[in-house]
A and B are shown apart, each in its own frame.
Chain A
Amino acid sequence: MLDAMHRRLLIVATLLSCGCSPTFWGRPPTRWDRTAFERDQAVRVLGCAELGFSLDRETSLTSDSSFLLDVSLRNHCVRETAVNLSALRITGRDESGAERPVEIYDPRNEVRPYQLDALAEGTERMRIDVGGSLNATRVICIDVTRISPEANQAAAAPVCLYAPSPDLVGVIDEDR
């Protein structure tokens, strides 16, 4: 049996060992840590639901014509609200202004209509395929009006984001 001093030492050592753990203090970031709400131009309030968007490039993807679209969701009501991200209409524009549809990569057919829980927040990172050269795509526009009846009523302007590239990153607010 441990005497009192060793028991105290064991407790201290156990507490210290938490500090040894790489995941206790500095856990790696997860998708829940991302939020696109900082930039007002990329946020739309659609009744109870609030959606924020940001674009990113991901070199590890197998497709070379894809961006990553981060969608942050927030419900500021005490009741759940409908959100159908599969109804997002996304288009890409090239330098000449020509538009082409952009598809959400969803091989498991999991992007479905859901109820965003009361006062809940979430983030989804989705691959979107522009169907052509990434470098030729200058702007990605997201029409949010079909994602819920409330969104349809709000008739919010589309969110347009500059396609991320080393020399051009940002949000376009001219369409707001």
Chain B
Amino acid sequence: MKRVVLIVSACCATLAFESLAQAKGCVEVSDIVGYEKCHRFGDGWAVERRWPIGLALTFPYQTFDPNGLDFSFQQGKNDPNKFSLPGDKLGSTAFGTAGFNIRMEGFIWSWIYIGVEWGLGFGHNQISDFSAMVGNTPQNFTGSDAAVNTVLFHGGGFAGLRIPLGRVSLRLEGFAGGNMASINAHSTVGDYSGSGGRGALMPRAAVDLWPSPNVTFSVYGGVNAIDTRERTLGLMLEYHVRSFDGAFALW
């Protein structure tokens, strides 16, 4: 009986969601030019009616250098016993994480684009044992042995240049933003989460392969100019609204 209720509930939820989506969006009344409500002549095929934008999902491996930062450790949001620890005491040259980024870009002139990206990375990193004052009591901490003990938050904007070379294109871009890492540590009084962040100015390069006029697979990499231990290397899948972003080749 519970299964039936669950299935029916899920059906109803889906239908309700679709109805809501339709109600909020434009409902087309005709497919004839001059009668259409939501579309205009040229939609879907005319360059002038296609936004020069791209949406991408990237899968980067990123490193984050905890040294030179202060990490704020706490158990909860308003933990009165939170404490600060220099990142150097964590005994790691760089935290490694793998995750995903979502990015959106728009071409502002010819081959030049700007955009924003946001993402998360997850990793398991070893840290040195350390001691810290929790309230008035010294406590010993060890790194959490959880499968994921490090989370990296990443976000910012970028500007770049795409050089079209046929079914392959090259990109050079600059990213400006920040990374914040959160790492878990364990003590006898419980698990603590410490976080620290740093700005990023990262020149990046990418190679795109165009299997279709609107989709690219890319490999990219970059180094943070503020701290060269922070690097990224990733794969990117992107959908481009305009074929070949408006330019197939230099020639």
Q: Which residues of A contact B (CB under 8 A)?
A: 6, 9-10, 12-14, 16-18, 20-21, 23, 30-32, 58, 61, 68, 73, 78-80, 85, 104-108, 110-112, 114-122, 124-127
Contacts and interface: CB of A to CB of B under 8 A. Distances in A.
B115 interface: no
Interface stretch (B36-44, B57-65, B80-88): B36-44
A127 B48 contact: no
Contacts of B42: 110, 112, 114, 122, 124
A68 B30 CA distance: 12
A159 B42 CA distance: 22
A16 B213 contact: no
B46 A114 contact: yes
> Which of B41, B45, B243 has the largest count of A CB atoms less than 10 A from its CB?
B45
B49 A125 contact: no
Given A10-B6, A117-B45, A105 B34 contact: yes
Given A6-B2, A122-B46, A117 B242 contact: yes
A23 B49 CA distance: 26
A124 B49 CA distance: 14
A58 B35 CA distance: 13
Nearest to A86: B41
A111 B243 contact: no
Interface in B156-203: 166
A118 B46 contact: no
Contacts of B32: 58, 61, 68, 125-127
B28 to A, nearest CB: 8
B18 A21 contact: yes
A106 B34 contact: yes
Nearest to B9: A13
A17 B46 contact: no
A41 B7 CA distance: 52
Contacts of A79: 248
B69 interface: no
B108 interface: no
Given A31-B31, A78-B248, A126-B33, A115 B47 contact: yes
B33 to A, nearest CB: 5
B46 to A, nearest CB: 4
Contacts of B249: 78
Interface in B1-38: 2-3, 6-7, 9-11, 13-15, 18, 31-35
A13 B10 contact: yes
B243 A118 contact: yes
Given A114-B48, A125-B32, A13 B7 contact: yes
B100 interface: no
Given A118-B243, A125-B33, A17 B7 contact: yes
Contacts of A68: 32
B21 to A, nearest CB: 10
B46 A110 contact: no
B107 interface: no
A68 B246 CA distance: 32
Contacts of B41: 85, 106, 110-112, 124
A17 B49 contact: no
Contact of A21 (B15, B49, B248): B15
A58 to B, nearest CB: 7
B19 to A, nearest CB: 10
B191 to A, nearest CB: 20
Contacts of B11: 13, 16-17, 20
B248 to A, nearest CB: 4
